[in-house]
C-alpha cells in the first residue's frame, strides 16, 4: 500500500534554533518528492521538489534531502523564525504516466516560540 508517514506529528522549538522533519514513504514507482509549507487556514505552498536522481535541494533556510534507496526524506530548517510556524507536508508522486497521483503525509505541525 502506497503511504507517506511523517514524524514528528508536532514540534515546538525556540526562535533561532534548527530542526529536522522526517518523511518515510512506500510509494512505488517513485517519480518525485515534494515538501510543502501550509500556514493555518491557507493552501500549501511548495518549498522543494526532488526527483530520483537528486539527494539534496535547498530553498533559502530550507534544505531537503532524499534517500531513494531507503525511501526517506528530511526537511532541515536553519535559524528558525516565528514565520516558520506552520504545517510541513511531505508529498510523493508516483507519476510515470498521466494516470499517476500524489500521496500526501499528514504533516508536521511546527511551532516556533520567541
Q: Would you count residue 23 as binding other proteins (CB under 8 A)? A: no
**Backbone torsions φ then ψ of 100, nearest 5 degrees:** -70, 170
Q: Would you count residue 24 as binding other proteins (CB under 8 A)? A: no
Alpha carbon 58 to its chain centroid, in Å, reads 12
Query: Quick one: which segment of 16-24, 58-66, 75-83, 89-97 binds other proteins (CB under 8 A)?
Result: 89-97
Q: Would you count residue 89 as binding other proteins (CB under 8 A)? A: yes
Among 86, 93, 110, 112, binds other proteins (CB under 8 A): 93
Of 19 and 105, nearer to other proteins (C-beta) is 105
Sheet containing strand 56-59, edge to edge, reads: 4-7, 19-25, 72-77, 62-67, 56-59
Q: Where is 74: in which H helix or E strand?
A: strand 72-77
Q: Where is 110: in which H helix or E strand?
A: strand 108-113
Q: Would you count residue 46 as binding other proteins (CB under 8 A)? A: yes
Residues that bind other proteins (CB under 8 A): 4, 31-32, 34, 36, 41-46, 49, 51, 89, 93, 95, 98, 100-102, 104-107, 109
Amino acid at each position: 500500500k502506497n503511504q507517506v508517514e511523517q514524524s514528528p506529528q508536532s514540534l515546538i522549538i525556540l526562535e533561532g534554533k534548527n530542526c529536522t522533519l522526517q518523511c518515510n514513504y512506500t510509494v512505488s514507482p517513485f517519480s518525485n518528492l515534494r515538501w510543502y509549507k501550509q500556514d493555518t487556514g491557507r493552501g500549501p505552498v511548495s518549498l522543494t521538489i526532488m526527483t530520483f536522481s537528486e539527494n539534496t535541494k535547498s530553498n533559502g533556510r530550507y534544505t531537503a534531502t532524499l534517500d531513494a534507496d531507503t525511501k526517506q526524506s528530511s526537511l532541515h530548517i536553519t535559524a528558525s523564525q516565528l514565520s516558520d510556524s506552520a504545517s510541513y507536508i511531505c508529498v510523493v508522486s508516483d507519476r510515470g504516466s498521466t494516470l499517476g497521483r500524489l500521496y500526501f503525509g499528514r504533516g508536521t505541525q511546527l511551532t516556533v516560540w520567541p
